[in-house]
Amino acid sequence: MVRARSSNLITIALMLLFFGALRVDALASDLVGHVYMQTNEIQNRIMHFGRNADGQLGLLDSIPTGGAGSGVFKPISGQESAPNAFEGAGSVILAESNTLLFVTNGGDNSVTSFRVSPEGKLTMIDRQSTGEPATGRSGTAKSLAYRPQSRTLYVLHAFGPNHLRSYEVAEDGKLKLRPERNSVNTATKTDRVSTQAVLSPDGRFLLVDILFDARPASNPDGSPNLVVANASDPDGLVIFPVRDNGTLGEASFADAGGAGPFYIAFLNGSRDTFLNGLAVGDGVLASRIDGEGRVTNGPLAQIDTSPGKPSELCWLQVTSDNSLVLATNFGYGTVSTYRLVDGRLSLLQDPANNAIPGDGTFRAVNGLVSSGPSDSWLTPDDQYFYQIFGNASVLVSYRLDKTSGRLTEIGRNQIPYNSPQGLAGF
């Protein structure tokens, strides 16, 4: 009887394992895409979410990067705990037709490369230092841009003098640090704070937005002393010509179109037209870069700033047909949408979502309590939008109505407190 009972239990266990495996395969087959976010914890990791056809996300894996984040500490301002640690964008990117994923480790100034399987699974390949020492409690490596023509990966640091370093990316995804060092400083502004590096679609120019002309400090009363870039001098956009081998030429300095340039997004299918989100200008504008690297700007389309200035409008997403722009307002905890027609922007929904409350401990520069939204991602079919709210510890999923520009919340996923940044998906 004991043997019979044991045999039955083994049979039942095998059946459960078999049907469990079938269920896992069924769940995997239900996925239509993948989303990746770095936690930026002291022991940094990538949270890998599977995306269902209805827009819902489910956590599939959590993979160490082998590097360090800053945790809840914010090296830009020196705050012990605050969202958007590095005041930047593009810290997690996909490349080579979504077969490689790169992530910054801002805490120790390194970059990790991963292989991405057709099923979205990540396998770590390499981790290499940016060559810039992390002084104090944290480094500031934060923004990545990849040039496939020369297999060059650029990494931008918030602090200089060597804001930009680069790697050669081998066929197998391993990283080799290049010797070149490039700065976004000028002769008179020697401690500028940059936010994001973006390549023009043809790979001929690398554009960098500058948020501050000097490192943030505190006034005697404890209020922030911020020297905002492009507020008085029209030089907040830095443009590097890119040579065929990926090295950068001499920088030129252009008018970003308003104060506190933060986020650059080229229009889909366009070589020369891009949008710039202004954190202190409180709006978005469309700009063009010509074949010589000269920039011309359109008018700035501001959001409603009656709640308080600045709005810290920063991150942008553009629909596949370039008809709609979604702008994240760090200071308000909201997202605004714009209509884009013939290169001209008009405000559509402001805000487009219900404000997400944080835990009440964080205040933005405008003095308002904020949930500190940062990086976002829009699905290629324009149906779903995902937004990090670091101070609320949630990644919120929305359905986008392209006609009205409204966002309807459809789900939330728990993420670490304050530290997460970077979103990429396919």
Q: What is the CATH number of domain 32-425?
A: 2.130.10.10
Task: Give the pLDDT of residue 223.
Answer: 79
With a CB cutoff of 8 Å and minimum separation 6, the contacts of 293 are 205, 239, 241, 252
- What are the phi and psi torsion angles at 16 (to 5°)? -65, -40
In the chain, what is the greatest distance between 2 CA atoms, to the nearest angstrom? 89
Torsion of CA 233, 288, 253, 377, to 10 degrees: 90
Q: Look at residues 12, 83, 27 and name the one whose alpha carbon lies nearest to residue 417.
A: 83
Name the DSSP letter for residue 51.
E
With a CB cutoff of 8 Å and minimum separation 6, the contacts of 184 are 160, 163, 164, 192, 194, 208, 210, 238, 251
Task: Give the pLDDT of residue 10.
Answer: 54
Q: Look at residues 46, 36, 107, 103 and name the one whose alpha carbon lies nearest to residue 71.
A: 107
CB atoms within 10 A of CB 180: 15
Q: Which residue has the tokens 């506190």?
A: 260
Q: Look at residues 181, 241, 231 and name the one whose alpha carbon lies nearest to residue 210.
A: 231
426 residues of the chain, pLDDT tens digit each: 444 444 554 554 455 455 444 444 435 558 999 999 999 999 999 999 999 999 999 999 999 999 999 999 999 999 999 999 999 999 999 999 999 999 999 999 999 999 999 999 999 999 999 999 998 999 999 999 999 999 999 999 999 999 999 999 999 999 999 999 999 999 999 999 999 999 999 999 999 999 999 999 988 887 789 999 999 999 999 999 999 999 999 999 999 999 999 999 999 999 999 999 999 999 999 999 999 999 999 999 999 999 999 999 999 999 999 999 999 999 999 999 999 999 899 999 999 999 999 999 999 999 999 999 999 999 999 999 999 999 999 999 999 999 999 999 999 999 999 999 999 999
Going 207 to 299 to 327 to 288, the CA torsion angle's sign is negative
Reported as type and span, the H/E element at residue 223 is: none
**Contact predicate 386/423, CB 8 Å:** yes
This prediction's pTM: 0.92
**Contact predicate 366/314, CB 8 Å:** no
Amino acid at 239: I
Structure tokens at 252: 């030129």
With a CB cutoff of 8 Å and minimum separation 6, the contacts of 87 are 76, 142, 158, 193, 195, 211, 262
Q: Which residue has the tokens 């020297």?
A: 227
Task: Give the pLDDT of residue 8.
Answer: 55
**Contact predicate 140/130, CB 8 Å:** no
Burial pattern 352-366, b for ≥16 Cβ within 10 A else e, equals: bbebbebeeebebbb
Three-state SS at 5: helix
